[in-house]
Structure 1
Amino acid sequence: MIKFINFFIKRSPEIGEAFMQHIKISGIAVLLAVLIGVPLGICIVKSERLSKIVLSVVGLFQTVPSLAIFGLIIPLMGIGIVPAIFVLFLYSLLPIISNTYIGIRGVDESIIQAAIGMGMTNFQVLLKVKLPIAISVIMGGIKISAVANIGTTTIAALIGAGGLGELIFRGISTSNNYLVLSGAIPTAILAFLVSYILGVFEKSLTPTGMLTNRSDKKKSILQLKVFSIVFLVIFSFRSYKMLTTTKHPTIIVGHKNYPEQRILGQMISELIEVNTKYKVNLIEFGSTNVILEALQNSDIDIYPEYTGSAYSAILGLSGETNPKKVFDIIKNAYTKDFGLDITNPMGFQNTYAFAIKPEFAKKYNLKTISDVKKIAGNITL
């Protein structure tokens, strides 16, 4: 436990930055969903046909795996925070719209008629009768959406959006449990805090007469004021920090999500910053196709790639084994087909090998990969 605490403290600047990115991505997505979802939920109450269509459409987004939507959106919107927010916004709509619809529709008709009989307009009935009565149901949908969104935001790291998911995926790929916990624990704490704050906000909006304990409203309003002050202080501090930070031209370096690529990405970044006046923004990606798409869309400026991956995974070719010929093929193809340039090789060879036990190699006289062919039908790879 002490080791993890020391690790957490040592990495606290990195964790803090990822935490703020996580809040930014999930917060904007949920806020947009509330601004659109609540009015939409109110509008569809009067039309059963329209409500079925709207709820079916937003429900469709929930049936598609989030990772698939992130992948599908890259060709349209690129990578980074914007497509991440858009996908999370889509995922946030269903609970908010459905709970708003259920909450408004569940208001007793006799109460509505009484309000109309008192001379209230339709808007007044909505504002002073329907919404106050339905607020607990509506806020329930918002809480579900917000908490689920915070968890789903971790996947956004795979398309270069940042957040706590970047720590989690990096920890998984390097078998670093401390790094996984450094992303997972703040994510859980954030979800708890958001749920609690939204609960306080719900009580402050609920009419006093509908609360079992009337003092709860005064307490919740006071808590909201404290939360607002804390938020304003943090926002002001970060705004001041951004304004006072000297701006420099930035090169965006991408790399894939495993140790060797992370090392190469760091090496490229340090070489750029040491030898030029440029600053570097380092972004991690989940796959070869995604990072190539990011380069084509100008979301990144450079990334390290292997001739073998480019030759087989991107170009879909096979057969050629001469390194020089393979390099020439992909250089010409990348220039012609993608409008991209490939720099000279970095000077190291990254070949493949099989891991086997010494006694197994000795038994079958295995020295090269080609030697495995003679026993390939009798072994498990």
Structure 2
Amino acid sequence: MSHFIQTLISERYNLFNAILQHIEISLVALVIAIIIAVPIAISVLSHKKVAYVITQFAGVLQTIPSLALLGLLIPFVGIGEVPAVIALVVYAILPIFQNTYIGLTSIDESLDEAADAFGMTKFEKLTKVQLPIALPTIIAGIRQALVMIIGTATLAALIGAGGLGNLILLGIDRNDNTLTIIGALAAALLAIIFSALIYVLQKGKLRYSIAALLLIIAIPVGNGIYHAVQPKQTTITIAGKLGSEPDILINMYKELIEAKNPNTNVVLKPNFGQTSFLFNALKAKQIDIYPEFTGTVLESLVKVPHGQRDTGVTPEKLYGYAKKDLKDQFGFDYLPPMEYNNTYSIIVTKAFADKYHLKNISDLRNIESKLHAGFDLEFLNRPDGYKGLQAKYGLSVTSQSVDAALRYEALRSGKVNVIDGFSTDSQIRQYNFVELKDNHHLFPVYQGAPLVSATLAKEHPAIIDTLNVLAGKITEDEMREMNYQVNVKGKSPAVVARNFLVAHHLLGANQK
């Protein structure tokens, strides 16, 4: 309990900001869903077949996995709040439409006849008779939709939209259950609080309910107007993949850029889940920079005729291939890389390695039937991942997809006995795990470097020069130690990043 309280105190500002972001995303999605679903339900009151088709269609939309929907939206609308809101609206339409339609069609026919007898117009009958009677059912649908939105909105963190999902992902990545619990509890409490507020609306009069809904609308709208009228600065958006290492790197980029360009506002979007999310966001001009690795560029991002690129070359040649292909195919600038090679690793526990005398990846062939692998989904489907292990090492093992943030815990707890990882992962040191030598040279060199949009490179050459100070810096030992400081010692990535820059005199004396 003491650790829970300490974490709550230390993360109070992040928690407060995450709650505000979560509420904003959820309310915006709810308002849009109401604006769409309620008028459609009213318009099809006398068309049962059309209402049935719409209900079925909305039901089908709800069956699309949320993560898949977010991935599909990125190429069209980019990252951030827009795709998150669209996805949440898609899921919220069904309960609001369905309850509105049911509420309005379940009204006693005698009341409709009485309204007609009094000579009411359709609009008068709707506003004075039908909607007041159906209001409790309609609001019940809105309540159901909002609870679902608040729960689903935690996934918005995967595409840089913020919210309480950031804390949950951070806790999973750093193996800190307290952070995960805080994020999950906060989301659950939000759902309970807003559900209770809407329940009160169910018992109120129509005009009070409408006034309350207008107040809800005013919150995100007012926030949007506030940000719109603020003085404009040059804004650079930097994103990073899930994990401590990308988080450290993007904080270094931010420190360097703002130190040399004081009129530039740098926005960080950490903890993206997949490489494809970030790359598509860069193509869609939703972000300006993210750290990427040379091996990943050649294996997963650029289109290269089979056999045209030999990845078993020197790091300098590999970087040259990646830089040229990115420029030719996408117009992106790939800046000079850092020193360390964050290559893939195949990892086992020391006890397992000692028991079966494992030193090289090829040694796994001798105990193939005893292997139960837990590989990250991206590793499972990459030619320089499990597919490469099958082709180059002849390995075919029982494997399952394990989230990148959970694979070390799965190995430590004995759920699996071999996993993929990266050579700079702090957990290797933390748990005294063993990296098996890639004796058939499957994994290419993975040197990290800033991948920059064509627009930024053209319009802000000074920023490019600023980032280039990291070229050739950071050894594997230094990167592993920084990851250890974040994941094990609990230090902030921003603090660790700044400490490194200061220690290596990269910020200038006036920034110390």
TM-score by length of 1: 0.86
Q: Aligned-pair distance for 1:289?
A: 0.7
Contact 2:28/2:220, CA 8 A, preserved across alignment: no
Query: Equivalent residue for 2:241?
Result: 256
Quick check: 1:23 aligned with 2:23?
A: yes
Q: Aligned-pair distance for 1:9?
A: 2.0
Match of 1:321 among 312, 317, 324: 312
Contact 1:265/1:282, CA 8 A, preserved across alignment: yes
Contact 1:42/1:101, CA 8 A, preserved across alignment: yes
Counterpart residue identity of residue 338, structure 1: F
The 1:206/1:351 distance shift into structure 2, 3 A limit, reads closer
Alignment of 1:210-229 (within 5 A): none
Query: Equivalent residue for 1:8?
Result: 8
The 1:206/1:4 distance shift into structure 2, 3 A limit, reads same
Range that drifts further, 311-320 or 31-40: 311-320
Match of 2:292 among 305, 308, 317: 305
> What is the alpha-carbon distance in structure 2 between the residues aligned to residue 40 and residue 244 of structure 1?
34
Quick check: 1:72 aligned with 2:72?
A: yes
Local SS of the residue matching 1:254:
strand
The structure with more strand, counted as a fraction of residues: 2
Local SS of the residue matching 1:167:
helix
| Backbone CA RMSD of aligned residues | 3.1
The 1:241/1:17 distance shift into structure 2, 3 A limit, reads farther
Q: Aligned-pair distance for 1:280?
A: 1.4
TM-score by length of 2: 0.65
Contact 1:167/1:179, CA 8 A, preserved across alignment: yes
Identity of aligned residues (%): 38
Gaps of 5+ in 1: 208-216
> What is the alpha-carbon distance in structure 1 between the residues aligned to residue 354 and residue 101 of structure 2?
71
Contact 1:133/1:206, CA 8 A, preserved across alignment: no
> What is the alpha-carbon distance in structure 2 between the residues aligned to residue 248 and residue 204 of structure 1?
45
Range that drifts further, 345-354 or 238-247: 238-247
What whole-Å deviation, never above 9, does each CA across 1:289-348 have from its counterpart, x for those lacking one? Answer: 110111111111111111121121223768522222221221111111111110001122
Local SS of the residue matching 1:303:
strand
> What is the alpha-carbon distance in structure 2 between the residues aligned to residue 177 and residue 288 of structure 1?
25
Local SS of the residue matching 1:292:
helix
Local SS of the residue matching 2:110:
helix
What whole-Å deviation, never above 9, does each CA across 1:7-27 have from its counterpart, x for those lacking one? Answer: 212211111111111111110
**Count of aligned residue pairs for this structure pair:** 365
Counterpart residue identity of residue 372, structure 1: D
Quick check: 1:286 aligned with 2:278?
A: no
Local SS of the residue matching 2:161:
coil
Query: Equivalent residue for 1:372?
Result: 363
Local SS of the residue matching 1:305:
strand
Query: Equivalent residue for 1:210?
Result: none
Range that drifts further, 349-358 or 37-46: 349-358
Contact 2:358/2:364, CA 8 A, preserved across alignment: no
Query: Equivalent residue for 1:336?
Result: 328
Match of 2:345 among 333, 353, 372: 353
> What is the alpha-carbon distance in structure 1 between the residues aligned to residue 165 and residue 245 of structure 2?
19
Query: Equivalent residue for 1:130?
Result: 130
> What is the alpha-carbon distance in structure 1 between the residues aligned to residue 178 and residue 349 of structure 2?
31
Range that drifts further, 309-318 or 277-286: 309-318
Counterpart residue identity of residue 175, structure 1: N
Local SS of the residue matching 2:239:
strand
> What is the alpha-carbon distance in structure 2 between the residues aligned to residue 118 and residue 361 of structure 1?
87
Q: Aligned-pair distance for 1:234?
A: 11
The structure with more helix, counted as a fraction of residues: 1
Alignment of 1:264-275 (within 5 A): 264-275=249-260
Gaps of 5+ in 2: 372-417, 419-512
